[in-house]
Structure 1
Amino acid sequence: MTAKRISFPRSVATALLLVSTSLGAPAMAGTLQEALVKAYRSNPTLTATRAGQRATDENVPIQKAAGRPAARAQAQFQELLVRPVAGLSFNQPHRSLSGTGSVEVPIYQGGAVRNGVKAAEIRVEAGQANLRATEASIFSQVVAAYMDVIRDGAIVALNRANVNVLDVNLQASNDRFEVGDLTRTDVAQSESRLALARSDLQTAQANLIASRENYIALVGEAPDDLQPPPALPGLPATPEAAVQVALIDNPDILAAKKAHDAARYDVKVAKAGVQPTLSGFVQGSYTTYLDLELDKNKSAAAGATLTIPLYQGGRPAAQVRQSQAFESQAIEQEIGTERGVIAQARAAYASWQASLLTIQSSQKAVDATGLSLEGVRAENSVGSRTILDILNAEQEALTARVELVSARRNAYVAGFSLLAAMGHAEAKNLGLEGGALYDPMVNYDRVEGKWWDWDYDKAPMPVATRTVDTPPQNANVSDQAAQ
């Protein structure tokens, strides 16, 4: 029996998640699609998980080998150093060369082989589900890193513009102080706000550099003029709908169920330890004496061996109890995984909804603070507002804009996390088709029926790209980043 191919459920809405650029065609620079494709091809966490899955595939032929014939050969050269006195065997040869060969064929192993193969096959399916989960996790991290760079770039641009405005305000305050229109207190307030703004700018620049470096770690290349991401259509209308989809499609739940199934077969393998075993054999031997003219000795035999365990010191029972405890552990872990997925789906939905509301509120705040700032400046020109009023209005306007870009980032990341919890954030769901998507079944089909002892693979070579030659990132942003 071969491992079943795990299906990748796809909804119509999530299939439209990203533009239809394929792996085989060059993607537009600076798009989320391009970032996901690069991570899919060369992210080391993902490529390492694929290699681990290939190692898991090998457990099937390993288990099958226990039920296949085994052939052995042995050669022995003997040099007699001291001739025995008893019997005065003067004609006993000094040297001899002998060879033996045998073939053993397992006939019945108490069900250990059959159940061991079944457990290995199910663990292959569990590993494939875990690979899907890793893929979704990497994509979620890439989306978050992508949006972090956009957000932090906008925040740097906003803070840089704020520094420029406050610098102009300080110059104007100094000029008005020179003509006696303002007091030294007004100048000090402008200086203080400018110093704080420069500090905030430095912090924002450091955050942007950190986000860009994190992007490089995930994607393998530096971000370059990242474009706004596409919309996330098809998100569920209610948290209940999200949970219902997640319970069916989430790969973590599927992997936990498969681990539980495999643990049940492990119990059967352990119980085979008290069952009789039967194997057939064929063996032969040949001996020649190198220093005497004697006849050659030849022998051949065939038969069967029946082994009936009578008492093994309690080991089989302990192994069965241990396997049953592991099965109990798998049952509890399956429930725990289900709980976690439910919580993840509900929390992502709540975060997504809250961020959408925050976007609306922040947009209103941006519009209102913009009008307020214009009004305060106009009123200051006629003497009804102070410099401190202008500084406060400028700070409120900056805060509202920062809140807006942060809310946009949070909404997108939460929406994608919701898709991941539902099991709809993998390569086949995101439109990364048209090229060589990684299919774990290709390797499984290649190795599961292999018999030959010397059928090795080539020496491993790295698949992930290194980033050691990537230059250190800076905090340079364009003026359009704040828009």
Structure 2
Amino acid sequence: MRLTVSVLITSVAALALAGPSAAETLQGALAKAYNANPTLTGARAQQRATDETVVIQRAQGLPSLQANSTFAENVLIPPGQVTTVGRTLQNQLQLNVPIYQGGLVKNNVRAANQRVLAGQETLRATESSVFSQVVAAYNDVIRDQAIVELNRANVRQLDVNLTATRDRFEVGDLTRTDVAQSEARLQLARGDLRTAESNLIASRERYVALVGDIPNDLAPPPPLPNLPGTPEQAIAVAVRENPDLQAAARNRQAARFDVFAADASRLPRLSGYAQGASNNFLGSVQSSIPGLNLPNQQTSASLGLQASFPLYQGGGPSAQVRQAQARQSQAFEREIEVERSVVQQVRAAFASWRASQDVIRSAEAAVSANRLSLEGVRAENSVGNRTIIEILNAEQELLNAQVQLVTARRNAYVAAFTLLAAMGQAEARDLNLDGVALYDPTRNYRRVKSIFVDWDSDPTPRPVATRTVDTPALNPENIVGPK
């Protein structure tokens, strides 16, 4: 199936080479969105943040080293002291080594790892969602631009009709009713044109928001080949590869490890420690006993083990375990919920795709029939067998059939791509986008997992997505060619 989508994108590229060099292709639009769509770039940043949870949990099981330094000046010394200390500089170095924590760290790390994998699947889902929106917006622009052109042609034809009707009225061949009918239909057509132009502007603005660039001369997207023949085939693939379903399964595994981690709160813990300390009195030690010399510096060191045995904690650990178990149960239900949603999406997209194909065939037949009908009505009107309103109705029926056809083609394409997305086959790795370096979420995970130092950070964050505030606003005069 991934090969299938690759064939699609390759076909789009071939169409782009065959057409004008300035034409935008579906591949180009998807590449722009992949590199600079803020939803996608933000999801990548969120995944990098999720990667760090493994390092944070792992740190709880590693040794820690801490140094403390304290300086004190005794500004008021009680009288009658045999020995007095005017000032003290105390330094302490302490090493703590966790040895056993009841499995807390181990299970927290396992849970974090599962959530990293779930996040990677969620990132796949985000890519698929963004691409589906781009495909829909791309086809919306093509559809709405075609509808605008159809409505403009209709307005021009009705304007010609009105002129001819007025001329025939002047010579007494038609009545004022015929003129009024022509005028009314022209005004309605002009209103429909304004609505179509507004819809096109909205579609183009959605495209700009998703892709980050103005859609200029969009090349027609080719049909999607080798789609599944039955809903059952599509569901079988989706159950294996749908990213939302895979993420839910990973989160269920993470919830299982959370239960083990919660259980560790009522188990014994053992740690080792080593500490050294030095006290320097900075020559301020004084004694009231003549001839008694006291040291001005002291040092000490110790090694040991520390064990803790929880005996009673007010029922808190049991509550934590039960809470984790409840969340594990929720994760089970969530996985089934996602599976139901995926099945529904696949079946609905499949049905919509098949229905749109039927609508395309019907609309093509309707366009052909309406074209013949219009020619016949015009011919019959020329010999007095048809009225002006019948010509106007025939023209409107042809326009309606043409609009239905371009709408059905858009719906079929979008439904087919939505079906691939629900099957987990519409991501960057499947589309083989030329000139695009695929983002590898595991690369950052491997990088941060090997960092054990405290003084490390990434470069100062900068926006990756492009802004669209400077793109020119669209209006009926610049959305499409001359009227």
Give the TM-score of the pair, scaled to structure 1. Answer: 0.94
Give yes or no for contact 2:363–2:402 (8 Å, CA) kept in 1.
yes
Matches within 5 A, 1:329-344: 329-344=330-345
Residue in structure 2 matched with residue 18 of structure 1 by the alignment: 9
Structure 1 residues 151, 253: closer, same or farther in 2, change over 3 A?
Answer: same
For the residues of structure 1 that align with 2:157 and 2:212, how far apart are their CA atoms?
37
Aligned length: 467
Residue in structure 2 matched with residue 79 of structure 1 by the alignment: 73
Residue identity opposite 2:30 in structure 1: L
For the residues of structure 2 that align with 1:292 and 1:478, how far apart are their CA atoms?
95
Residue 50 (str. 1) matches residue 50 (str. 2): no
Q: Match of 1:404, SS?
A: helix
Give yes or no for contact 2:63–2:96 (8 Å, CA) kept in 1.
yes
Residue 101 (str. 1) matches residue 101 (str. 2): no
Deviations 1:136-187 (A, max 9, x none): 0000000000000000000000000000000111111111111111111111
For the residues of structure 2 that align with 1:131 and 1:20, how far apart are their CA atoms?
27
Residue in structure 1 matched with residue 201 of structure 2 by the alignment: 209
Give yes or no for contact 1:54–1:444 (8 Å, CA) kept in 2.
yes
For the residues of structure 2 that align with 1:131 and 1:16, how far apart are their CA atoms?
24
For the residues of structure 2 that align with 1:108 and 1:20, how far apart are their CA atoms?
60
Residue in structure 1 matched with residue 375 of structure 2 by the alignment: 374
Of 285, 292, 299, which aligns to 1:292? 285
Residue 279 (str. 1) matches residue 268 (str. 2): no
Residue 321 (str. 1) matches residue 322 (str. 2): yes
For the residues of structure 2 that align with 1:28 and 1:266, how far apart are their CA atoms?
55
Residue in structure 2 matched with residue 220 of structure 1 by the alignment: 212
Residue in structure 2 matched with residue 353 of structure 1 by the alignment: 354
Residue 419 (str. 1) matches residue 420 (str. 2): yes
Give yes or no for contact 1:125–1:255 (8 Å, CA) kept in 2.
yes
Matches within 5 A, 1:377-416: 377-416=378-417
Give yes or no for contact 1:18–1:431 (8 Å, CA) kept in 2.
yes
Once the two structures are overlaid, the 10-residue window that deviates more, 27-36 or 102-111, is: 27-36
Q: CA shift at 1:449, angstroms?
A: 2.1
Give yes or no for contact 1:72–1:103 (8 Å, CA) kept in 2.
yes
Deviations 1:105-142 (A, max 9, x none): 00001000111111111111000000000000000000
Matches within 5 A, 1:128-207: 128-207=120-199
Q: Match of 2:219, SS?
A: coil
Q: CA shift at 1:21, angstroms?
A: 8.5
Residue identity opposite 1:73 in structure 2: A
Residue 229 (str. 1) matches residue 187 (str. 2): no
Structure 1 residues 28, 335: closer, same or farther in 2, change over 3 A?
Answer: farther
Q: CA shift at 1:84, angstroms?
A: 3.1
Residue in structure 2 matched with residue 111 of structure 1 by the alignment: 103
For the residues of structure 2 that align with 1:21 and 1:178, how far apart are their CA atoms?
54
For the residues of structure 2 that align with 1:318 and 1:84, how far apart are their CA atoms?
53
Q: Match of 2:88, SS?
A: strand
Q: Which runs of 5+ in 2 are unaligned?
A: 287-293
Deviations 1:359-402 (A, max 9, x none): 00000000000000011001000000000000000000000000
Give yes or no for contact 1:36–1:142 (8 Å, CA) kept in 2.
yes
For the residues of structure 2 that align with 1:70 and 1:149, how far apart are their CA atoms?
59
Identical aligned residues as a percent: 59
Give yes or no for contact 1:20–1:432 (8 Å, CA) kept in 2.
no
For the residues of structure 1 that align with 2:346 and 2:436, how far apart are their CA atoms?
31
Deviations 1:204-228 (A, max 9, x none): 0000000000000000000000010
For the residues of structure 2 that align with 1:98 and 1:346, how far apart are their CA atoms?
73
Residue identity opposite 2:174 in structure 1: L
Q: Match of 1:455, SS?
A: coil
For the residues of structure 2 that align with 1:176 and 1:90, how far apart are their CA atoms?
130
Give yes or no for contact 2:33–2:210 (8 Å, CA) kept in 1.
yes
For the residues of structure 2 that align with 1:77 and 1:280, how far apart are their CA atoms?
28
Q: CA shift at 1:279, angstroms?
A: 0.4
Residue identity opposite 2:285 in structure 1: L
Q: CA shift at 1:77, angstroms?
A: 1.0
Q: Match of 2:78, SS?
A: coil
Q: CA shift at 1:82, angstroms?
A: 2.7
Matches within 5 A, 1:223-262: 223-262=215-254
For the residues of structure 2 that align with 1:128 and 1:424, how far apart are their CA atoms?
15
Q: CA shift at 1:15, angstroms?
A: 3.0
Structure 1 residues 162, 228: closer, same or farther in 2, change over 3 A?
Answer: same
Q: Match of 2:203, SS?
A: helix
Alignment RMSD (CA, Å) = 1.7
Give yes or no for contact 1:133–1:252 (8 Å, CA) kept in 2.
yes
For the residues of structure 2 that align with 1:193 and 1:435, how far apart are their CA atoms?
51
Give yes or no for contact 2:11–2:222 (8 Å, CA) kept in 1.
no
Give the TM-score of the pair, scaled to structure 2. Answer: 0.94
Of 26, 38, 43, which aligns to 1:32? 26
Structure 1 residues 391, 122: closer, same or farther in 2, change over 3 A?
Answer: same
Q: After the TM superposition, list the runs of 4 or more consecutive aligned residues in structure 1 that deviate by more than 6 angstroms.
A: none
Residue in structure 2 matched with residue 3 of structure 1 by the alignment: none
Q: Match of 2:29, SS?
A: helix
Q: CA shift at 1:434, angstroms?
A: 6.0
Q: Match of 2:399, SS?
A: helix
Give yes or no for contact 2:2–2:431 (8 Å, CA) kept in 1.
no
Residue 263 (str. 1) matches residue 266 (str. 2): no
Give yes or no for contact 1:20–1:431 (8 Å, CA) kept in 2.
no
Residue identity opposite 1:224 in structure 2: N
For the residues of structure 2 that align with 1:20 and 1:173, how far apart are their CA atoms?
48
Q: Match of 2:98, SS?
A: strand
Q: Match of 1:58, SS?
A: helix
Give yes or no for contact 2:166–2:179 (8 Å, CA) kept in 1.
yes
Deviations 1:5-52 (A, max 9, x none): xxxxx5432332211799xxx997411000000000000000000000
Q: CA shift at 1:313, angstroms?
A: 1.2
Q: CA shift at 1:90, angstroms?
A: 4.7
